[in-house]
Amino acid sequence: MAGTDRTKGSGLPDTPGPAIVLVEPQLGENIGACARAMLNCGLTDLRLVRPRDGWPNPKAEAMAAGATVVLERARLFDTTAEACADLSYVLATTARTRDMVKPALTPRLAAAEMRSRLAVGQAAGFLFGPERAGLVNEDVALADAVLSVPLNPGFISLNLAQAVLLIGYEWFQSADATPDTQIMSESPPATIASREFFLSRLEEELVSAGFFFPVHLAPTMKQNLRTLFTRAGLTEQEVQTLHGVIKALTGVKRRGP
């Protein structure tokens, strides 16, 4: 059915991604879960081929958890060939060995291949089969290659939304610039000046307490302490907490527990 454009904040990506083609999905809830997974990964082109319970389906919207923009833009087709007619590159997801010779790509390689093709203006998409049996050979034959997820060979079983999310995630992260490691904190990292003031105060109190013994090892012990706190990547809030610790340990002891 036709969809309407949403304003800024709708979660829509700036550039189009590959189409997600669901062939004979069985439950409206599964379609909704797929829409949710798609929007998480910046995908909005949903195509449905003969959904078993009909379309539109109110159960899909409830399961989409806010990703209604994907459902509103979803298009309905009678055949897989019609759903893929405008695509020049299609990958069929399958966990079964087929009696046909086709390249087999991992999700990571598939994401890179999709990006390179979309970058030059080619339309592309992923093909997913019904929850129980997967794609039939006639549908796989339409694809340029198959996509196989390397999982435990003794148990390769993904539900439809899991499969869409797994492949969608590889698509999204292939162009994501988020650092592999980052500090999740509302407090900014401590400045050098802030950290040095704390370390100087700590050393001063430790000297008063006679901690640096024997004396000839004091420089090494001080360096070890500085290395420890520098490696910790302290935030400003954490430095203030450590100042409070020093104050509590060196101040007048209060009565009671």
> Six-digit token pair at 43?
């995908």
> Six-digit token pair at 131?
């929850």
Reported for 160-163, long-range contacts at CB under 8 A and 24+ positions apart, including other chains, are 160/22, 160/25, 160/30, 160/33, 160/34, 160/128, 160/131, 161/30, 161/33, 161/34, 161/36, 161/37, 163/93, 163/128
Judgement on whether residues 60 and 130 belong to the same structural domain of the protein: yes
Judgement on whether residues 42 and 101 belong to the same structural domain of the protein: yes
Low-confidence ranges of the chain (pLDDT < 50): 1-9, 254-257
Judgement on whether residues 151 and 240 belong to the same structural domain of the protein: no
DSSP letter at 216 equals G
According to DSSP, the β-strands at 19-23 and 89-93 are: unpaired
Burial class (CB in 10 A: 0-12, 13-18, 19+), 111: buried
Judgement on whether residues 125 and 243 belong to the same structural domain of the protein: no
Burial class (CB in 10 A: 0-12, 13-18, 19+), 124: buried
Burial class (CB in 10 A: 0-12, 13-18, 19+), 43: buried
Assigned domain for 58 exists: yes
pTM: 0.68
Assigned domain for 88 exists: yes
Assigned domain for 197 exists: yes
Q: Is residue 94 within 8 Å of residue 146, measured between CB atoms?
A: yes
Give the model's pLDDT for residue 102: 84
Judgement on whether residues 135 and 198 belong to the same structural domain of the protein: no
Judgement on whether residues 78 and 197 belong to the same structural domain of the protein: no
Give the model's pLDDT for residue 71: 95
Judgement on whether residues 51 and 109 belong to the same structural domain of the protein: yes
Judgement on whether residues 234 and 143 belong to the same structural domain of the protein: no
**H helix and E strand count, the chain:** 10, 7
Smallest CA-to-CA distance from 9 within 66, 74, 72, 65 is with: 66
Among 173, 203, 238, where does a domain finish?
Answer: 173
| Residue 237, domain extent | 192-250
Chain length of the chain: 257
Among 139, 173, 207, where does a domain finish?
Answer: 173
Give the model's pLDDT for residue 143: 92
Judgement on whether residues 80 and 144 belong to the same structural domain of the protein: yes
Smallest CA-to-CA distance from 44 within 11, 70, 21, 8 is with: 70
pLDDT, tens digit, for every residue of 216-243? Answer: 999 999 999 989 998 888 899 999 999 9
Structural domain total, the chain? 2
CA–CA separation, 2 and 26 (whole Å): 22
Judgement on whether residues 209 and 99 belong to the same structural domain of the protein: no
CA–CA separation, 145 and 113 (whole Å): 11
> Six-digit token pair at 114?
């999709």
Q: CATH number of the domain at 45, please.
A: 3.40.1280.10
- Sign of the C-alpha dihedral, residues 118, 102, 148, 134? positive
pLDDT, tens digit, for every residue of 70-93? Answer: 999 999 999 999 999 999 999 999
Among 120, 141, 173, where does a domain finish?
Answer: 173
Judgement on whether residues 166 and 235 belong to the same structural domain of the protein: no
Judgement on whether residues 89 and 132 belong to the same structural domain of the protein: yes
Give the model's pLDDT for residue 7: 34
